[in-house]
Amino acid sequence: MSRDGYEHEFIETIVEDVYKQVTHVVPLHTADHAVGIESRVHEVNSLLDLGSDDVVQLGICGMGGIGKTTIARAVYDSISDQFEGLCFLNNVRGASHKSGPMHLQETMLYETCGLKIKLGCVSQGIGIIKQRLSKKKVLLVLDDVDKLMHLQVIAGASDWFGPGSRIIITTRDKHLLKAHAVNIIYEVHELSEGESLDLLCWSAFKTNKVDPRYADILKRELAFSSGLPLALKVLGCYLFGKSINESESALDWWYERIPHNHILTALKISFDSLDEEEKDIFLDIACFFNGRKLEDVEDILGAHYGGSMKDIINTLIEKSLIKIDNGLVTLHYLIEDMGKEIVRQESPHEPSERSRLWRFDDVVHVLEENSVRNQLIYADFIFYLYYLLCFLSSVDSTNLQQFFSLFFLLYNILICLNMHVEFQAFIIVL
């Protein structure tokens, strides 16, 4: 090898060493007041098995706004001094959409070993990643991944990285992790009531010592947020500096309307990734079936759409949109609200133009006014009334009058449409 070749390698080594020293002293910003983070970091670090020389890939999975990125950043900061190369690729979904996968590869190569390069193609990037990192102990975090391709071009296989490397992937899509053979998955759950109260107080009052007169307001806020960190922070900041009367008025406004746009946007990402039939079925579940038995939901939706619902329901579970809890289909309160808002936006001011109705007053108004938008979808409208009757039949006795009013009004309409046989079959389901 020529003298110039040796000098070139020597300079590259110096650049990598200096870059390593610089990056190790710059921690990521996690959160101003990270509630409950220590226990979750400890759980993730245990799963990473940091004493092993194996290359370990771990997925952090959960619904939007649940705190996946916050946990990943805290884990990254807690263990970064144990690695030779570091890279936290933030917002992979957005960065890939904006600049393409090669930009992600270029960023990773620069962050892990100080290599500034303009790649010609993805394949070239893969080759250089293998060459540069196969003997280096690397900590790599891929945040907010929504496509398998992202993993294939950045962390395609364990042998791309040196012994002891750790790859952490945050995503809403559990199926994506399984498809990439990521077998260690940490599912992020909602904050406990105590943790939620702590985060809410710090967001709204910048202290955990709160005037007792705010107790009822905080109780309502906790019920609305249902342990979702994003909602707790947004709602807390929204109420910051407000008096008790102003806070009560603000909450009334929130309850009558949709979640804050920032919350809705974060939650809707998973919905937007569904195909059309999956979207329809999710909206049906959000509007009518939260808390219903899985078996009943599969039977009713299967009869409506004509096929088994198992695969689609599994997709909704893997996208962190629904859960199955003790045989019941459940949604986070804000996920349910997001689904209903999507339907409401179809026609904000005229319920008869919407694809689904779940409020008793809207249904009675549409039926009495005979204002269903189109005779071609009238049968679908009636079927969605089936769903509403399912819901009303499952609640307490205070809704019995509403149930029977709708029941007989619907029955008369079905007789006129010669659909009473289908309705009799539906009564059995109820």
Residue 128 has pLDDT above 60, yes or no: yes
Residue 316 has pLDDT above 50, yes or no: yes
CATH architecture of 3-187: 3-Layer(aba) Sandwich (3.40)
Q: What is the pTM of this model?
A: 0.75
Residue ranges per structural domain of the chain: 3-187, 193-257, 273-429
Q: Measured between alpha carbons, how far is 37 from 51 in angstroms, rounded to an integer?
A: 22
Return the bridge partners of 328, or none. Answer: 293, 325
Confidence category of residue 311, pLDDT binned at 50, 70, 90: very high
pLDDT in tens, 376-413: 344 555 555 556 556 555 555 455 555 556 555 555 55
Q: In the prediction, which pLDDT does 277 show?
A: 94
Amino acid at 238: Y
pLDDT in tens, 241-286: 777 787 777 666 665 555 566 677 778 888 998 999 999 999 999 9
Q: Rounded mean pLDDT of 288-316?
A: 89
pLDDT in tens, 338-375: 899 899 888 888 888 888 877 767 776 776 666 554 44
Q: Rounded mean pLDDT of 130-139?
A: 95
Q: DSSP letter string over 211-263? A: -GGGHHHHHHHHHHHTT-HHHHHHHHHHHTT--HHHHHHHHHHHHHSPPPHHH
Q: Rounded mean pLDDT of 170-182?
A: 94
- % of the chain beyond a pLDDT of 90: 43
Q: Which helix (H) or strand (E) element contains residue 402?
A: helix 400-416
Number of helical (H) and strand (E) elements in the chain, helices listed first: 21, 7
Confidence category of residue 7, pLDDT binned at 50, 70, 90: low
Q: Rounded mean pLDDT of 105-114?
A: 94
Mean pLDDT of the chain: 81
